[in-house]
C-alpha cells in the first residue's frame, strides 16, 4: 500500500478519516536540530534513521490532509529546564491556525511546572507529551507529583515515551511508570510505541489501571520488528483491551511510508471493528 491508497482504505472501513495521536510538529529551529540527530543516528537514536517527510510545516499539514488524517497531535517535548513554555506557546499557535491539530503541550521537572501545566489545562490543552529517554529525567521526581495529580483530575491524556527503545537510559522502563500510576491510578497515560521493548509490562498496566492506553507508533513495521518484535502471545490480551489502543505513527519522523503503519495493522488480522476503534473511535472518545 502507498500513501495514495490511504483515503480509500479508511473509507472502506466507514470512517470519517484517521485520528493520529502521535504526530510531531516543532518550532523550525528545534525541528531542524531534531532531524540532524536522526540524520546522524546520534546517541539518542542508536541506528540509521532516514526521515521520509521533511517538508515545511505547511507541506506536512497538507500531506496529513491528503491522507485523510482529520485529527492529529503536535507533540513537542522539553529536554531541559526553561524550554517547555516556549514549545507550548508555539504549539498553541499552530493549533489556532490548523483546526485539525490538537492543542498540545509538554512539561519538564522544574520550578513552576505545576503552575504552567495548570495554566495550559485552563487554556484547553487537549494532550501532553513527555519523552523520558530524550529528557533524561525521572517521572517520579517530586516536582512532577502535583502535575500528575492535575492531569489525572482533568482526564487530559499525556503521551509518555517511557519504554527503553531505541536507546535505554537509567530513567526508561516500566518501573517508574508503574510507580506513578500506583500514586495516580486515574492518570490518562498513553504509552508511546506500546512501551517497546517492554510490551508485556506496559500491557499489564493497561489491565491494572482503568485509563492507561497504548499507541501503535511504529509497532509491527518492518523497521521496528527487526530488533523488538511484538510478542504474538500478547495479541489476544491486546484485543481484549481494544478500546485502549490508539493509532500513532510518529509522522513525520518515519523512514517508511505513512501507509505502512496502516498496512501492518490490517495485517494482524484482528478485524475491521478493531481497526475502526484503533484508527478513529478510541481517540475520538478519549479526546473528542
HEC letters along 155-185: CCCEEEECCCCCCCCCCCCHHHHHHHHHHCC
28: phi then psi, degrees, rounded to nearest 5: -50, -45
Mean pLDDT of 185-208: 97
At 59 the pLDDT is: 97
Please check the confidence at residue 42 and state whether its pLDDT lies above 70: no
- The confidence band for 266, taking pLDDT boundaries of 50, 70 and 90, is very high
Mean pLDDT of 154-162: 97
Please check the confidence at residue 43 and state whether its pLDDT lies above 70: no
* Rounded Cα distance, 272 and 193, in Å: 22
pLDDT digits (tens, 9 = 90+) for 254-263: 999 999 999 9
Mean pLDDT of 144-157: 98
Domain boundaries, the chain: 3-287
- The confidence band for 288, taking pLDDT boundaries of 50, 70 and 90, is confident
At 262 the pLDDT is: 98
Q: What class does CATH assign to 3-287?
A: alpha beta
Nearest to 88 by CA among 66, 43, 46, 119: 119
231 close to 196: Cβ distance less than 8 angstroms = no
Please check the confidence at residue 224 and state whether its pLDDT lies above 90: no
Mean pLDDT of 86-94: 97
Amino acid at each position: 500500500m502507498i500513501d495514495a491508497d490511504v483515503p480509500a482504505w479508511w473509507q472502506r472501513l466507514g470512517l470519517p478519516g484517521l485520528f493520529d495521536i502521535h504526530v510531531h510538529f516543532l518550532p523550525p529551529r528545534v525541528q531542524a536540530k531534531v532531524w540532524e540527530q536522526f540524520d546522524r543516528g546520534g546517541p539518542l537514536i542508536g541506528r540509521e534513521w532516514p526521515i521520509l517527510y521533511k517538508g515545511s510545516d505547511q507541506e506536512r499539514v497538507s500531506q496529513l490532509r491528503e491522507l485523510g488524517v482529520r485529527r492529529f497531535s503536535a507533540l513537542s517535548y522539553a529536554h531541559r529546564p526553561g524550554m517547555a513554555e516556549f514549545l507550548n506557546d508555539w504549539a498553541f499557535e499552530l493549533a489556532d491556525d490548523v483546526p485539525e491539530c490538537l492543542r498540545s503541550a509538554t512539561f519538564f521537572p522544574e520550578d513552576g511546572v505545576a503552575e504552567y501545566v495548570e495554566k495550559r489545562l485552563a487554556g484547553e490543552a487537549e494532550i501532553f507529551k513527555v519523552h523520558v529517554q530524550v529528557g533524561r529525567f525521572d517521572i517520579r521526581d517530586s516536582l512532577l507529583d502535583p502535575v500528575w495529580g492535575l492531569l489525572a483530575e482533568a482526564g487530559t491524556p499525556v503521551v509518555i515515551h517511557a519504554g527503553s527503545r531505541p536507546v535505554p537510559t537509567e530513567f526508561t522502563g516500566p518501573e517508574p511508570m508503574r510507580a506513578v500510576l500506583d500514586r495516580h491510578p486515574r492518570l490518562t497515560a498513553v504509552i508511546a510505541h506500546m512501551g517497546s521493548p517492554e510490551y508485556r509490562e506496559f500491557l499489564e498496566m493497561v489491565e491494572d489501571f482503568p485509563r492507561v492506553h497504548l499507541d501503535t507508533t511504529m509497532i509491527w513495521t518492518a523497521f521496528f520488528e527487526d530488533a523488538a518484535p511484538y510478542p504474538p502471545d500478547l495479541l489476544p490480551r491486546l484485543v481484549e483491551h481494544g478500546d485502549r489502543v490508539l493509532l500513532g505513527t510518529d509522522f513525520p519522523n518515519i523512514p517508511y511510508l505513512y501507509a505502512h503503519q496502516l498496512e501492518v495493522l490490517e495485517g494482524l488480522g484482528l478485524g475491521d471493528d478493531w481497526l475502526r476503534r484503533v484508527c478513529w473511535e478510541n481517540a475520538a472518545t478519549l479526546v473528542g
